[in-house]
Structure 1
């Protein structure tokens, strides 16, 4: 059953089916990528049953259906970008007779708006009351971490966009000099363009000098999809509305001189998490007067202590968890480092809790999950929390709560085989500590040259929050703990 049919059925009868719309995702997020369906057309579902998995710029979540009944239609495919207020699926109420197969010519497709089902309400049980009769007027939807030197993979959605209007009959637009002629067999010229249901697709086309409605659509009913726009961009195909604009055509790939390399280039839209990371990194660089200091540290005793601790307890301890314990002690000793900047109030906010962020490379890209209340944990509890957080990085499926509320970030880029870096501060925090690789290096011990396990520490801080004294003292404190772990005992 096509998406167009099911939407028409809803418009024709308020009791035949109800649409589950993508709710307000919070934190200013207005769109998400559909990862996978957990149900199929024809399945019976109950209230609050998980039916779809979506990925926002913050996290990957499963959404529960607020209705009970039989799945009548799925309005998007895996890989599609959907906007808040857009219908995800239609559910026919138990015992209701579907109008989808009636073929009624009087039914006009209408797009579900956010108000018809209380858009922005809670996921669990929203829209439980009977929906209001919807207008048949056609509407369009509004369009709408952490930092290190990692690179995040990007993916381009190739699936079809959901259909929100009836299939349009393709016909060439009438000449500008004479009005269109309407006959019984010819649709009006205003609907003789390709339907475009997604505001994201329209915006992508507009940003690249194209008119989405003039592109051929490959989606259900001729709907123009993101893939269609990307194909037009790559091929340098301008729409009739933009072909005569010199400024637009001059930047298209087909204007490249013969023998150019444009045909070998690959264009990847900056969307989703990559877009959020890019915006935050840019804002951090523009807004923060940052300074970086670094120190090389003899980590030989740290490795010895790790082995002794594991032998004594029979448990495993990662170097990251041990350094995290030193960092927590340092933040308690120098609380200004555990701060953030409130730019609106022009204030430095020194946090009472230590919520330790761990920069992690995930399949989704760079993320900074947070260990909340790290200052209240024992070494064993902190080790377990760090281990659990690092384990989740292999999938990148962190909840929104796990990615928010950080007060300081620890970045272990040594796992990538590099010695050091000048990391970008994770807004709105004021500092970040980076750990480089551990490597055998010549080192002087008690006047004798020997080989030791040496690592580099890179520390970047916001000069608005503090000057050089506290950051230097914090860094040397952590370095002292690494070089002589027993020195931390008085701090415990």
Structure 2
């Protein structure tokens, strides 16, 4: 006996709402085991291999490589209980009961964030269009009929079950509420549905016929309607959707989600905001026209000039009989050039930097420092044998010591509570440029690490960044960022704070420059240090004290001995 189960894109954590398919690791017809990776996806944080919680035969894949899917969208379907593709046992009818024990044995014991594998999958049923016009499921560009999720999130399934061969007698219809396996008796469409492919319907009520699949119907989205009110918990996975609704004043309990099983998606909240704004504009009263005294016309009224695309046409000249041509209205030229979509890592960086500039009132101070003694100390450390110490590790060790003296900069701001949250642990992020874009891996417990430990951790995370194997945990949770843009051959910068942190230290290149040393002009190794900080967490005195302490440690590394 066989049951076709649908595996949806799970919540990958860290508030991620979508992922891009990078590489399929299985094909239709392949046999998969429990927890076997089936697809590699790229989120805004990292590349992730998604394991399948079911064991069976892959019957369909949803989305081609390069497609972007929202959390909760179908990934693939698996025929659980099928020994091999096309076998007699693997093609049982969908009406055969499956016991809870066998279901439990064929699912994984692992639980992904927001996705439990022990729960029984929702039953699917095959339905036919109620009318030949197909208004139940409109075939529009961008909306597929291969799944019950909005097709805007990705293409339809790569493979779908085909209808019967010519002359073949359709078998008995499957039991209501069950889905027939591909090729199984009862799974073929009847004569009335030969004009179009069968569609899968879920237990969730479909939107209104004239509303696109990815957007809730107008009557369902308007706040305050009794028809859209829900009782019980709100079906929302993403914390970003909750925050968007909270910031926009949308009551999620009064929304009907357009996602799988009634899941409220970001597009539902945005649509509700638009509908609410439109209703507000329609309710704005207009001032009634003031009555005016009639005046005697000095000339007979002229008919209004006809309108054209370039404006009204002037009346003909009575003397010449010609019609003057009015100047055409300027039309903005469409933007030309290559269009590169902002998605994946690049899109996530763009969103975070824009949010930082929008929400954080940042300020920058900088200072030049003589790094000659620091470079000499590093040379002496590496000459003594043992693991090599990197310059970035020494600068990181200086930063952790400075944060211990100025904890205001190792904090974040909670704007809703209007509170500054000081974080006791230093989780140091460092900017790393990769082929996929700028990433900021995070070193945990950096304040308790030695220079050797920091060097080792920097090397490990940098290697993972270049290979594209950083996990979301490697890229989140930072409290302070060190940005060594000197590797690009520049001296200074005004770095943008990595939201929601409160500060970032930028380090320029170390170059020989004329410098007054002990009263004499000499050539020294000079570096420029830039500190960008959130002015809400501290004033310029605190930021200047932090930066001055860092510069003193760079110029005289022995200062660090007081805090070690």
Mark the CA change 1:362 to 1:451 in structure 2 (over 3 Å): closer, same or farther. same
Q: Deviations over 1:127-178 (max 9, x none)?
A: 345434224466753699xxxxxxxxxxxx9xx82339989xxxxxxxxxxx
Q: CA deviation at 1:270?
A: 1.8
User: For residues 447 and 72 of structure 2, what CA distance do their matches in structure 1 show?
Assistant: 41
Q: Please tell me whether the aligned partners of residues 357 and 410 of structure 1 are also in contact (alpha carbons under 8 angstroms).
A: yes
Which residue of 101, 107, 112 corresponds with 1:122? Answer: 112
User: For residues 460 and 41 of structure 1, what CA distance do their matches in structure 2 show?
Assistant: 52
Q: Please tell me whether the aligned partners of residues 325 and 379 of structure 1 are also in contact (alpha carbons under 8 angstroms).
A: yes
CA RMSD between the two structures: 3.7
Aligned twin of 2:541: 469
Mark the CA change 1:387 to 1:127 in structure 2 (over 3 Å): closer, same or farther. closer
SS at match of 1:393: helix
SS at match of 1:429: coil
Q: Please tell me whether the aligned partners of residues 22 and 84 of structure 1 are also in contact (alpha carbons under 8 angstroms).
A: yes
Aligned twin of 1:341: 413
Q: Please tell me whether the aligned partners of residues 24 and 121 of structure 1 are also in contact (alpha carbons under 8 angstroms).
A: no
Q: How does 1:277-426 map to 2 (within 5 A)?
A: 277-426=349-498
Q: How does 1:82-97 map to 2 (within 5 A)?
A: 82-95=69-82
Mark the CA change 1:74 to 1:450 in structure 2 (over 3 Å): closer, same or farther. same
Mark the CA change 1:331 to 1:262 in structure 2 (over 3 Å): closer, same or farther. closer
Q: Deviations over 1:172-209 (max 9, x none)?
A: xxxxxxxxxxx989959xx9xxxxx9959xxxxxxxxx
SS at match of 2:548: helix
Q: How does 1:54-93 map to 2 (within 5 A)?
A: 54-93=41-80
Aligned twin of 1:49: 36
User: For residues 310 and 421 of structure 1, what CA distance do their matches in structure 2 show?
Assistant: 30
| TM-score, normalisation: structure 2 | 0.60
Q: CA deviation at 1:337?
A: 1.1
Aligned twin of 1:134: 124
SS at match of 2:392: helix
SS at match of 2:551: helix
Q: Please tell me whether the aligned partners of residues 387 and 452 of structure 2 are also in contact (alpha carbons under 8 angstroms).
A: no
Which residue of 17, 22, 36 corresponds with 2:23? Answer: 36
Q: CA deviation at 1:96?
A: 5.6
Deviates more, 1:413-422 or 1:375-384: 375-384
User: For residues 194 and 49 of structure 2, what CA distance do their matches in structure 1 show?
Assistant: 45
SS at match of 1:307: helix
Aligned twin of 1:251: none
Q: Please tell me whether the aligned partners of residues 22 and 66 of structure 2 are also in contact (alpha carbons under 8 angstroms).
A: yes
Aligned twin of 1:229: none
Mark the CA change 1:48 to 1:467 in structure 2 (over 3 Å): closer, same or farther. same
Structure label with greater radius of gyration: 2
User: For residues 389 and 151 of structure 2, what CA distance do their matches in structure 1 show?
Assistant: 47
| TM-score, normalisation: structure 1 | 0.68
User: For residues 193 and 419 of structure 2, what CA distance do their matches in structure 1 show?
Assistant: 68
Q: Please tell me whether the aligned partners of residues 59 and 159 of structure 2 are also in contact (alpha carbons under 8 angstroms).
A: no
Q: How does 1:67-216 map to 2 (within 5 A)?
A: 67-95=54-82, 122=112, 126-136=116-126, 140-141=148-149, 161-163=155-157
Say how many residue pairs are matched.
Answer: 375
Higher relative contact order (CA 8 A, sep 6+): 1
User: For residues 461 and 85 of structure 2, what CA distance do their matches in structure 1 show?
Assistant: 47
Q: CA deviation at 1:344?
A: 1.0
Q: Deviations over 1:292-348 (max 9, x none)?
A: 000111111111111100011332111000100000000011111111111111011
Mark the CA change 1:61 to 1:97 in structure 2 (over 3 Å): closer, same or farther. closer
User: For residues 151 and 385 of structure 2, what CA distance do their matches in structure 1 show?
Assistant: 56
Q: Please tell me whether the aligned partners of residues 22 and 40 of structure 2 are also in contact (alpha carbons under 8 angstroms).
A: yes
List gaps (5 residues or longer) in structure 2: 95-106, 128-136, 138-146, 162-190, 200-211, 216-308, 310-329
Aligned twin of 1:170: none
Deviates more, 1:350-359 or 1:129-138: 129-138
Aligned twin of 2:519: 447
SS at match of 1:420: coil
Does residue 34 of structure 2 align to residue 26 of structure 1? Answer: no
Q: CA deviation at 1:21?
A: 1.3
